[in-house]
A and B are shown apart, each in its own frame.
Chain A
């Protein structure tokens, strides 16, 4: 089974080699074989007595991250969708993409996506799941931006990347919580410990994080905005990723964690509300679109909302309907995208306002579109699978348990109306899609290309899908018992068995369906009359504007903030650093009670120490107020000599010697470079900055003084200097303890200080040389 997951990745490595011969044989032929093989491998598992299959492969055992593959009904449903529709899309793309495109790139991304999607649905380890999850985001980003010379593609790719990765990261947070709480990273084992998770105080957080991941990926309101922009991708990509597979990864995630999450009543409230609202919003917005693929994008959003809502209801019927509709949606939406691709390919336009009357030119395509769009609308005809799942949806929303109180009861009482409302618009845009494209009087002569029927190869894939629609519609039991029931049971965690009938008798779900058809027909016929309602809602309340504003504002405000403190002025950086040090040190010292003053171990102050200190203080102040630079340097020299005197007073002859030499050399160096230094000027800083400078420097001085006093006052241990005093002659062979320490006890420090000096010297030398060379040039 691992090989089946990794096969696309392995083949993807060889694609660049294969695509060299693309002028002889389209690369897509090689690629089509991959999902076909996978499909054949997995179709064997279908059957009445299907048992979950588990495989474990070692990856990072020390971190409990192993590639744990788990194939149950739910995974099987998705695996077959991915490989089956993957085969059809790959085949379709052979005719859709011309050989002059960068086929190598396209199919590498495509296979990457397919492999990672298989990984998502088969992984039982949460971290492996997340890895593949991000892989799907990444490959989807690459596919959307396939025509990267277009502005729109880049924009759409970035948008989908930002939104899905945002959700992916929050998913990671939820998964990490789960694995920390339960101590295992296997989803099955997490499920078996669900009581532990449910009673944990972080459960609401886990629920929120996982749902955030699922909602962003599955384009639920308000995160749906990336999906319409992802329509910039080539149509096979839209058909595959943005209708059948990737957008269902969020659905898959919710379904996978359903047995655990659904126990909480918040699961019902959040998921079903978001789902129903997405259903209504998506179908409402779809009617407004003029681009074929945009209609389908909003339709996908709406259908995903419907599936999500059914998962949210959580009744056995609803779960069954959800699993059934996942399959049905993939069939008719995949074929509709391909139809849109054909129309685009054969007429050169996807704008529904320019299309119309194509039925006579594209008869086969029109037939396919007719079946698929009627199935999407849920027209009550016995050969349309969309009707079955829609009816099951109505039934599940109608049969919600009304014995509860509070907010849930309120939600349950309004859900049927919302469901009918959303479905009416679904009907309207399905009709609009079909009749707007294929009926009416078109202006064929104004289209960029003269329309004619698509090549047979291009029609095969949508044809197969439409055949699927009809077969499922005519004999739903064919896939019900061996397939959909397993998926539903895997989601619900219990055996779920439902029979699918076309005719239920005149019952509320059927009345709802009829209502949808009647109102939908009326609304569709008078569509131009009420189309202006879109100017009111959404009107200015566009989520895209919000997103654009958010992105632009984030950039602008970060620029403002960064420019606010990074203005290139060293003075300001210095102030910031000092203030930061002061704040941190002061607060830590005060918080820990670190400031202590202990006068117990002080020695007496002598007159000459006081005098030297006085001289140094006066000279230091003199340096600050000096008006010209030479004066400042010379007065600084006084401070240095004063320090040397202090060393003398405190009996440190070696330090005094060194200090004197260094001070002289420094003064000399200052004089050497003096010629190049600018004249001391009156700084142009505002009085406020000057005051701040004084305050900061005074505060910093105060801080250092206090730290020094505290350090002196809180000696916890005796100094180790007595060891050096005792042993410097015996062990080091020298009377001068300072020198023995420098070259013997702690000789390594000296070595590296020599190195520092050497580096400094070389740096000075090279700086001067480089400058001279530049001058010569």
Chain B
């Protein structure tokens, strides 16, 4: 039983590290898109996906650290990403984020 538990622990550990590396690589590739991205919408989408990847990263790190303290962070990133992307989208579409006259 003890052995099995240890084995599972090691398995989770290794797999989360592999996953972290995978996600990180994807972040780096996305970073390339953010910097090069021929148009600004490209960058916006890349940033959005970086955010999703960061959510994943946070989760994986939380697993790695055996902690539940970071669940808030994951939720928050989700909300912020949504708000940020909507704001960006609106900015790219209309040039402003908050419209003044609501008629």
Q: Is the Cβ of A660 less than 8 Å from the Cβ of B61?
A: no
Q: Is the Cβ of B70 less than 8 Å from the Cβ of A656?
A: yes
Q: Is the Cβ of A638 less than 8 Å from the Cβ of B50?
A: yes
- Smallest beta-carbon distance B81→chain A, Å: 8
Q: Looking at chain A's contact residues, is the secondary structure mostly helix, strand, loop, or mixed?
A: helix
> With an 8 A cutoff between CB atoms, is B65 at the interface?
yes
> With an 8 A cutoff between CB atoms, is A649 at the interface?
yes
> With an 8 A cutoff between CB atoms, is B76 at the interface?
yes
Interface string of B53-86 (1 = CB under 8 A from A): 0100110011011010110110011001001100
> With an 8 A cutoff between CB atoms, is A618 at the interface?
yes
- Smallest beta-carbon distance A269→chain B, Å: 78
Q: Is the Cβ of A668 less than 8 Å from the Cβ of B77?
A: no
CA distance A657 to B75 in the complex (A): 10
Known: A607-B17, A641-B50. A615 touches B61 (CB 8 A): no
Known: A653-B70, A672-B98. A660 touches B24 (CB 8 A): no
Q: Looking at chain B's contact residues, is the secondary structure mostly helix, strand, loop, or mixed?
A: helix
| B72 contacts across to A, CB distance below 8 A | 653, 657
CA distance A638 to B24 in the complex (A): 13
Q: Is the Cβ of A657 less than 8 Å from the Cβ of B76?
A: yes
Which chain A residue has the least Cβ–Cβ distance from B54?
A641
Taking residues whose C-beta sits less than 8 angstroms from the other chain, chain B's interface range is: 35 or more
| B69 contacts across to A, CB distance below 8 A | 651, 653
CA distance A191 to B34 in the complex (A): 83
Q: Is the Cβ of A668 less than 8 Å from the Cβ of B97?
A: yes
Q: Is the Cβ of A611 less than 8 Å from the Cβ of B67?
A: no
Q: Is the Cβ of A631 less than 8 Å from the Cβ of B34?
A: yes
> With an 8 A cutoff between CB atoms, is A630 at the interface?
yes
Which chain B residue has the least Cβ–Cβ distance from A656?
B73
> With an 8 A cutoff between CB atoms, is A366 at the interface?
no
A634's partner among B25, B28, B34, B83 (CB-CB below 8 A) is B34
A615's partner among B17, B24, B96 (CB-CB below 8 A) is B24
Known: A634-B43, A664-B80, A675-B96. A614 touches B28 (CB 8 A): yes
CA distance A625 to B35 in the complex (A): 9
> With an 8 A cutoff between CB atoms, is A637 at the interface?
yes
Q: Is the Cβ of B73 less than 8 Å from the Cβ of A631?
A: no
| B88 contacts across to A, CB distance below 8 A | 634, 671
| B31 contacts across to A, CB distance below 8 A | 615, 618-619, 622, 635, 638
CA distance A612 to B65 in the complex (A): 16
| A637 contacts across to B, CB distance below 8 A | 47, 84
B83's partner among A608, A664, A675 (CB-CB below 8 A) is A664
> With an 8 A cutoff between CB atoms, is B91 at the interface?
yes
CA distance A671 to B44 in the complex (A): 12
Q: Is the Cβ of B57 less than 8 Å from the Cβ of A645?
A: yes
> With an 8 A cutoff between CB atoms, is B40 at the interface?
yes
CA distance A675 to B91 in the complex (A): 10
B73's partner among A611, A612, A648 (CB-CB below 8 A) is A648
Q: Is the Cβ of A611 less than 8 Å from the Cβ of B54?
A: no
> With an 8 A cutoff between CB atoms, is A661 at the interface?
yes
> With an 8 A cutoff between CB atoms, is A644 at the interface?
yes
- Smallest beta-carbon distance A314→chain B, Å: 86
| A625 contacts across to B, CB distance below 8 A | 35
Q: Is the Cβ of A641 less than 8 Å from the Cβ of B96?
A: no
Query: Which residues of chain A from 629 to 674 have any CB-CB distance to chain B below 8 Å in the complex?
Result: 630-631, 634-635, 637-638, 641, 644-645, 648-649, 651, 653, 656-657, 660-661, 664, 667-668, 671-672, 674
Can you list 26 A-B pairs, Cβ within 8 angstroms, ordered by A? A607-B17, A607-B21, A614-B28, A625-B35, A626-B35, A628-B40, A631-B35, A631-B37, A631-B40, A634-B40, A634-B88, A635-B35, A638-B31, A638-B34, A638-B50, A641-B50, A645-B61, A648-B61, A648-B73, A651-B67, A653-B69, A660-B76, A660-B77, A671-B87, A671-B88, A672-B98
Which 9 pairs, one residue from A and one from B, show the smallest C-beta to C-beta distance?
A611-B24, A622-B35, A653-B69, A664-B80, A608-B20, A671-B91, A634-B43, A630-B40, A656-B73
Q: A607-B21, A641-B51, A656-B73 are in contact. List 9 more A-B contacts (CB 8 A).
A: A619-B31, A622-B35, A631-B35, A631-B37, A634-B88, A637-B84, A641-B50, A664-B84, A674-B91
Seen from chain B, the residues whose Cβ lies within 8 Å of a Cβ on chain A are 17, 20-21, 24-25, 27-28, 31, 34-35, 37, 40, 43-44, 47, 50-51, 54, 57-58, 61-62, 64-65, 67, 69-70, 72-73, 76-77, 80, 83-84, 87-88, 91, 95-98
